[in-house]
Amino acid sequence: MMNPLSVKAVTLDLDDTLWPVWPTIERAEKALADWLGIRAPATAALLADTAARHGIREQVARELPALRHDLSAMRRELIRLALYRSGDDPLLAEPAFDVFYAARNRVTLFGDAVPALEFLSRRFPLVALSNGNADIGLVGIGGYFKAAVSARQVGVGKPDARIFQAAIAAAGVKGLQAREVLHVGDDAALDVLPALDCGMQAVWLNREDKLWPHEAAPPATVTTLAELCGLFS
């Protein structure tokens, strides 16, 4: 069980923990499509075809496996390959990606996110821990965090133990033990269970009242970040 009195640092997932990710990705996809529609309409039409887009993504993953944990690089290469296939200028890949990435970081935070970040950051060093490619500085919440650890930086993603260990080290607390770090995330398989396996404490953020999907007993569970903060009150 979670022991609030023993927590000396907190690691936080980002996507679907601090903001809903899929509306963000959909807006970024639209921004990219609109930009390509003016400057590379053949590519825009190609990427509008779901089957074609998935095929291009699969080709990039197959031919560039070293990028599988770098979603920004994967997206950039997807755009580049689509431009090439469509007969458009592949040099447009960089500015096209910049359009996508700027929109990807224009997130709509859950209403409880900033109050929770303010509360937690006054008490603990916070570390962002994500498989995604959001930039907490561009999102506008970087000031609450001691560090950010991503799959791209570490070369492995959750649930690999190494990314959790990197996050513990990034907290910057001398002699910090895994059992003194609390990880908070929305995904049982990627966040909660691997954190527990690493010896960390964990809280499952279950905003949608889902059933616990694993045989192992569920950990401490909250439905909002306000409830999480209440555990320390």
Instruction: Return the CATH fold of 22-104.
Output: Four Helix Bundle (Hemerythrin (Met), subunit A) (1.20.120)
Task: Say what angle helices 71-86 and 50-63 make with each other, to 10 degrees.
Answer: 120
Q: Which tokens in the block code for residue 111?
A: 């209403």
pLDDT band at 216 (very low <50, low <70, confident <90, very high): confident
Residue 193 pLDDT > 80, yes or no? yes
Q: What is the pLDDT of residues 155-181, one digit of tens each?
A: 999 999 999 999 999 999 999 999 999
The DSSP-derived string for 111-134 is: TTHHHHHHHHHTTS-EEEEESS--
pLDDT at position 1: 77
pLDDT band at 119 (very low <50, low <70, confident <90, very high): very high
Q: What is the pLDDT of residues 145-162, one digit of tens each?
A: 999 999 999 999 999 999
- CA dist 131 and 178 (Å) reads 20
Q: In the chain, where are the structural domains located?
A: 4-19+107-230, 22-104
Q: What is the pLDDT of residues 59-91, one digit of tens each?
A: 999 999 999 999 999 999 999 999 999 999 999
Q: What is the pLDDT of residues 22-35, one digit of tens each?
A: 999 999 999 999 99
pLDDT at position 217: 85
Instruction: Return the CATH fold of 4-19+107-230.
Output: Rossmann fold (3.40.50)
Q: What's this model's pTM, rounded to 2 decimal places? A: 0.95
Q: Do domains 4-19+107-230 and 22-104 have the same CATH topology?
A: no
